[in-house]
Structure 1
Amino acid sequence: MTKDSAGRSGAPATPPDEQLASPLFGKLPPELRAIIFTELFGGRRLHLEFMPHPVRADKVGNRRRWRHGICEDQAATPFTSVIARKHYCLTAARRRALDISMLFTCRRALVEGIPVLYHSNIFLIINAGSRRLPVDDIRSLQAKMSKHWALVQSLEIKWEVAMFHRNQATIVPHFGGRDAYEAFWDSLADMPALSRLRIALLMPPCPLADPAFPALDMPDLYLSPIQRLRGLRLCEIAMPKSYLCVADQDEWETFISRAGRSQHFISWVDDDSGPAPPGPASTHMFRLLSMARGLV
């Protein structure tokens, strides 16, 4: 204990949570500890999936909650390769859960390790064939991880809309889902540390010009919301090639270049180019997107 000029006992010279008796914190500099933490639980591509928990179940069944696991694709794997295949990293057979037990050994490990966990990892959210909107995913994570979600720097999202269903029409941005799409970008704008963003907008094939559909500026609809994210250093948007029918590639690329001075670009991926199924024109927009072909 230290004493002030009046001889009274003051605060301890060393806070109790410094853990200086530990060789990790007492002898190693912060730079080496950061390297150790990165080897333990950083520098990876991590899945974030809303799914039943295999252990914490209630009386009715497994409660659905957000779980994270290590993706089988390395952090350096191109985004187009990541979205080209199915992922089973969180299945019981894989059991690729990320071990973050080190964070809970002491308060100092938590304080120093949390930034490594959220700054160095790439977080991947896959929303395929679901009636849940991507904005619901982001808002849910912001509510569940309110203290740490704002620290995320790298985020990847694969949004694959399933075959047309009468209750799913409003999730397609250019056919009734514009408000939800705008809200999705607003939710991303609430992430102050986000600097690297990759999104696959795997919508149903873009319809050809049809008097039944209102004329929309597709590049403006899909790309103008990116301008709300001021801190992005890298932004990659993957879209089906059929959307080149409404605007040529130069127009799309010119529009996305307005969103920022850093790396902003579009990756075009294959979609279902087969004949449209019989039925009214409104159903042609909702053909199932085929991802069976190889992506570049």
Structure 2
Amino acid sequence: MSTRGARDTPASQPGEQLASPLFGTLPLELRAMIFTELFGGRRVHLEFMPHPVRADKVGNRRRWRHGICEDGLEHPFSRVIARKHYCLTSARHRVLDISMLFTCRRALAEGIPVLYQSNVFLIINTGSRRPPVDDIRSLQAKIPKHWSLIQSLEIKWEVALFDRNQANMVPHLWGRDAYEALWDSLADIPALVRLRIALVLPRCHPADKSVPDLDMRELYLAPIMRLKTLRVCEVVMPHSYRRTFGYLEGGSNMGDSGNSQFCMSWIEDDAGRVPSGPAVASILAYASMALT
């Protein structure tokens, strides 16, 4: 083998660190276990929010921030979405320590796949500040080199009740374009195999004349088929939508296709909503009057 060929092999790349017991002695499988213990196998909050210190050149302090969720992977998704999280508050902010990745180039090369493939990333969009598709696209622009490594994603989309500024968010009313764009953005994650998404929508009133005559199941569930790589998909919606979707008191299996498992879960109406202050009662009262 020529000298040039030897340099091209992985074992002879610069920074191989063969003198290190970690890289020179332990096999790759054990190193992966160590990296997972350090910064993998967790549920990680991702939120585009104001940064308390850092700002860019024009004074914009909104940044992608992350924090380790207090609910581990053993906790069901229905529990995660049913309560308010404080993982990104200054008092309880738990940062994922990835300093090991920056010790050498080999640690970075082997650790990055563990970081993005073994963790479950959770995006919570409350109050309809912006549609989740904007979050997905923004995150994609933030980590373009590693976007193709993400395998597990969880999304909670809480649609505001009768927010006149964001009325186009409700998919079966005026927000179909934003909903379709969300699934198109998810389809652009090439390695995504596990997806859990909670759609915390306004209460479904079958007698409400303002709701168009739509095939609700087709509208909400058909876009899932665009994600060809999915193996596990769970869609969580308020219980008032159950009968509209054709699910009675039995199971809510959306069907298995080969190794894929798609299912629906149900939560009590308003169970996944985060109270936003004294105005909540008046908003609910207004919504009740508008639907009667």
Q: TM-score, normalised by structure 2?
A: 0.86
Deviation of 1:272 after TM superposition, in Å, equals 4.6
Paired residues for 1:264-283 under 5 Å? 264-272=262-270, 277=285, 283=290
2:239 to 222, 238, 241: 241
In structure 2, relative to structure 1, the CA distance for the partners of 1:11 and 1:134 (3 Å cut) is: closer
Correspondences of 1:159-170 after superposition (within 5 Å):
159-170=157-168
Cα deviation 1:255-289 (Å, max 9, x = unaligned): 83277762111111001599x745798x549xxxx
- Partner Cα separation in structure 1 for residue 194 and residue 2 of structure 2: 50
- Alpha-carbon shift at residue 250 of structure 1 (Å): 5.0
- Residue 36 of structure 1 is matched in structure 2 by 34
User: Deviations along 1:12-33, whole A, 9 cap, x unmatched?
Assistant: 9933221112221111110110
Instruction: Evaluate the alpha carbon distance shift between residue 163 and residue 24 of structure 1 in structure 2; reply closer, same or farther with a 3 A threshold.
Output: same
**Would you say the 8 A contact 1:226–1:259 is kept in 2?**
no
Q: Secondary structure of 1:55's partner?
A: coil
Q: Which residue of 1 aligns with 2:88?
A: 90
* Aligned equivalents of 2:60, 2:91: Cα separation in 1: 17
Alpha carbons 1:208, 1:245 under 8 Å: kept: no
Q: How many pairs align?
A: 279
Determine if contact 1:47/1:70 at 8 Å carries over to the other structure. yes
Letter in 2 for 1:166: R
Check whether the contact 2:125–2:158 (CA below 8 A) recurs between aligned residues. Answer: yes
Deviations 1:130-176 (A, max 9, x none): 32101001011111111112211110001111221211111110011
Distance 1:252 1:222 in 2: 20
Q: Quick one: which amino acid aligns to residue 202 of structure 1?
A: V
Distance 1:45 1:150, change over 3 A: same
Whichever residue aligns with residue 20 of structure 1, its letter is L
Contact 1:223/1:255 (8 A) holds in 2: no
- What's the counterpart of residue 53 of structure 1? 51
Cα 1:228–1:92 change in 2 (3 A) is same
- Unaligned 5+ segments in structure 1 are 286-296
Greater mean deviation of Cα atoms: 197-206 or 244-253? 244-253
Whole-angstrom distance in 2 between the partners of 1:207 and 1:191: 35
CA contact under 8 A between 2:161 and 2:287: conserved in structure 1? no
SS in 1 for 2:219: helix
Identity among equivalent positions (%) equals: 67
Q: What's 1:14 paired with?
A: 12
| Residue aligned with 1:103, SS | helix
Measure how far apart 1:206 and its partner are.
1.1
Structure 2: gaps (5+ residues): 272-280
Tell me the amino acid that sits aligned with residue 90 of structure 1. Answer: L
Conservation of the 8 A alpha-carbon contact between 2:253 and 2:262: no
Q: Is the 8 Å Cα contact of residues 125 and 156 (structure 1) preserved in structure 2? A: yes
Structure 2 residue 211 is matched with structure 1 residue 225: no
Q: What is the Cα-based RMSD across aligned positions, in Å?
A: 3.0
CA distance in 1, matches of 2:57, 2:80: 37
Query: Aligned residue for 1:66?
Result: 64
Report the CA distance between 1:245 and its aligned residue.
4.1
Hey, what's the Cα distance between the residues in 1 that align with 2:111 and 2:43? 17
Partner of 1:23: 21
Q: Distance in 2 between matches of 1:21 and 1:227?
A: 49
The separation in 2 between residues aligned to 1:151 and 1:74, in whole angstroms, is 21
Instruction: For 1:212 and 1:75, locate their aligned partners in 2 and report how far apart those are by CA, in whole Å.
Output: 40
Q: Separation in 1 of the partners of 2:179 and 2:168?
A: 10
Q: Map of 1:73-222 to 2, 5 A cutoff? A: 73-222=71-220
How far apart in 2 are the matches of 1:159 and 1:33?
37
